[in-house]
Structure 1
């Protein structure tokens, strides 16, 4: 019975959320990537601004240090006070170059212009400090003090600090703007992650539901398949048992018909041939002196009748061996072995039990006899053997028969081939008695057939209970 088809396509109400969730996940992923890039840009920009603030503060501190050293020298005249001035003067160019580089990289045009003004003011302040120091070194201390008292240096310094404060204010604004953007991007990324997580959970729930339905469907299908398989197995076993019983019955019928036919041939054809031979012999005896020519013809007729009697006996032996019924299985097996092997010019040897085999049921006797007959026929036809060994053993619990030859050996898988009717017939005869049958290829070459049947004390239901005529 064919199994019902289980559709594999998902309904639209399930596909639509899945597709929407996938598209939304891709969009969120793209936006998150862009947000990460913006955050990275803001981070680099904030780092640059902080470096600009630090460099700007460093430039202002250098100018302040130089001014402090200048005034200390002018007030005390001690040369050691010039050391901070000289050091600050040397550091100024380096600090300013670093600040200019940062402004060109991270700053705006207005910031670069403001930095240029700041540099100009710093240059004016440096010129004023160099002038006063030069006047002081030439002995014009009063002139140097007068230059300071003019207030130009103070105004220059105030303007420089104003530019510094304005530039710092702009940088601070940029930092605050960047922080605000940073916070906005993080908040949106958090919202995106929340939405993505929510849809992921929803998708997982949908997948879980679909998985449960799929598992339930497959489990139901598995149960139906298992039930169908069990039903088919039971049907196969029943059909196999029926076929085995039918095969056994056919063997029973075959052996019964053979025995009946052998008896009929013996009783009817045998009596006809004997009567005809007696009449021909009587006539031939009367004509021997009077009509030698016709007497010779009758002599040939007697020889023909003898040949007919021999053919009758051979047919009876093939249909139902009389040795099997009169002398037992051992004698029948030995006669059959020599009968076939001697004609084929194959050396043979048989090992028989010492005990009496009369307790063996007739059905098993005829089964073993037919197995030997079929095996020897195969040896003669296919094996190309030079020697055949047969072993027959009878014990209290069973009977065994082993047939070995030194031929080419049975081909691989032939014993399992469905068209190997001879082997199948032997196997079925053994199966009818719940016995064991095996046919294998010997390692040294040739084939070995092993049969073992459990000994049956009751033979009421088996084949071959009828005996052939003596």
Structure 2
């Protein structure tokens, strides 16, 4: 299935870039951070202007390191392999809230995210990631919620917000803007589907379902 192979290739590239960021950029910045800290310690206390500039540079390096860590987490979701989808979604929600100020809760009452096949877990994580990006960009929401639960034949994740919502009939021709294509492709690659419920002033609900067995194997389209 072409869509599945494209998604797998994208994930491999994400992992490669995350590794490069860690091994090259991250380690280089860490070395710069250490050198600046040493230089700051060698300066006499009365060299105020230079000390201030080095301190400012240290803050810039630290901020850049944090930004790289955030980018690596988006490229290669931490916790997913070791602790499962529920933990990875919790990490995603916490970072989203910290960056945007939108309160985001995660519900996985039966811990279905612990034992999912990797393909299904990655697909649902990426769908939730895209849905939260849309919440921030378009919804003007104060609260969001991610719920993970078992569903007939598979598993379902719901991403809801209390934002402005939209008229689906008017937005149908603009679905690229709302990231729907990306989410639909992610779901389709593992044999799943996406549903969206929204209305002006009533928030938005994105519901993604993926089968536990994965898509049927066969043709290349």
- Normalization by structure 2: what TM-score? 0.79
Higher relative helix content: 1
**Map 1:207-226 → 2, pairs under 5 A:** none
Distance in 1 (alpha carbons) for counterparts of 2:183 and 2:58 = 42
Distance change >3 Å, CA 372–CA 292, structure 1 → 2: same
Distance change >3 Å, CA 415–CA 433, structure 1 → 2: farther
Distance change >3 Å, CA 277–CA 347, structure 1 → 2: closer
Q: In structure 1, the residue corresponding to 2:168 is in which secondary structure?
A: coil
Distance in 1 (alpha carbons) for counterparts of 2:158 and 2:53 = 51
**Residue 275 of structure 1: how far off its partner (Å):** 1.7
**Map 1:108-147 → 2, pairs under 5 A:** none
Distance change >3 Å, CA 281–CA 348, structure 1 → 2: closer
From 408, 416, 419, the equivalent of 2:164 is: 408
1:222 equivalent in structure 2:
none
From 253, 271, 276, the equivalent of 2:32 is: 276
2:203 is the counterpart of 1:446: yes
1:265 equivalent in structure 2:
21
2:165 is the counterpart of 1:387: no
1:350 equivalent in structure 2:
106
From 281, 286, 297, the equivalent of 2:53 is: 297
Distance in 1 (alpha carbons) for counterparts of 2:161 and 2:49 = 53
Distance change >3 Å, CA 266–CA 342, structure 1 → 2: closer
Distance in 1 (alpha carbons) for counterparts of 2:176 and 2:32 = 45
Distance in 2 (alpha carbons) for counterparts of 1:312 and 1:343 = 14
Q: Kindly indicate whether the alpha-carbon contact (under 8 Å) linking 1:385 and 1:407 is maintained by their aligned counterparts in 2.
A: yes
- Answer 1 or 2: higher relative contact order, Cα 8 Å, separation at least 6: 2
Runs of 4+ aligned residues of structure 1 deviating over 6 Å after TM superposition are: none
**Residue 341 of structure 1: how far off its partner (Å):** 4.2
Distance change >3 Å, CA 304–CA 383, structure 1 → 2: closer
1:423 equivalent in structure 2:
180
From 212, 215, 220, the equivalent of 1:455 is: 212
- Structure 1, unpaired ranges of 5+: 1-244, 458-470
Q: Which has the larger radius of gyration?
A: 1
1:433 equivalent in structure 2:
190
**Residue 263 of structure 1: how far off its partner (Å):** 0.6
2:115 is the counterpart of 1:359: yes
2:67 is the counterpart of 1:311: yes
RMSD of Structure 2 on Structure 1 (CA): 3.1
**Residue 444 of structure 1: how far off its partner (Å):** 8.6
- After superposition, the C-alpha distances for 1:49-90 in whole angstroms (9 at most, x for unaligned) are xxxxxxxxxxxxxxxxxxxxxxxxxxxxxxxxxxxxxxxxxx
Distance change >3 Å, CA 385–CA 311, structure 1 → 2: closer
**Residue 394 of structure 1: how far off its partner (Å):** 4.1
Q: Kindly indicate whether the alpha-carbon contact (under 8 Å) linking 1:390 and 1:404 is maintained by their aligned counterparts in 2.
A: yes
Distance change >3 Å, CA 435–CA 288, structure 1 → 2: same
Distance change >3 Å, CA 280–CA 383, structure 1 → 2: closer
Q: Kindly indicate whether the alpha-carbon contact (under 8 Å) linking 1:396 and 1:455 is maintained by their aligned counterparts in 2.
A: no
Q: Kindly indicate whether the alpha-carbon contact (under 8 Å) linking 2:166 and 2:200 is maintained by their aligned counterparts in 1.
A: no
2:80 is the counterpart of 1:321: no
